[in-house]
Amino acid sequence: MATKTTTKADDKPAAEKKTAAKKTAAPKAEGAAKPNALQQPLKPSAELAAVVGAASLPRGEVVSKVWEYIKKHNLQNPENKREILADDKLKKVFGKDKCTMFEMNKHLAAHLKSA
């Protein structure tokens, strides 16, 4: 039966091997990274701006601010928390009296434009 011979590189623990590999990788330029779709600032429509403000925001921030508004004004259906009961401001955004939280992003996308 053949035995495996080890070299000094094989004697290092796995954690040391990973850090050595990270050090040899080329560092990325800080400002050169292009923001992905969730990080690009978007301009809300007038209807959506009434809920989240008029400033340009990334999509993730818009969704977070809409959820803050929903929870602050107690707009979730008590029997089905996935359903949002729209008030006057959200009716203009959703186009209907209620929608599910899964439909909400579709309605928000219609009210966001590139800044």
Helix residue ranges per DSSP H, 4-115: 8-11, 14-24, 46-52, 59-72, 88-94, 101-109
What is the rounded CA–CA span in Å between residue 115 and residue 8?
55
pLDDT of residue 21: 52
What the chain holds in terms of domains, given with CATH numbers, is 41-114 (1.10.245.10)
- Provide the whole-model pTM: 0.68
Q: Is the pLDDT confidence value at 22 over 70?
A: no
Model pLDDT for residues 33-91, shown as the tens digit of each residue: 676 877 899 999 999 999 999 999 999 999 999 999 999 999 999 999 999 999 999 99
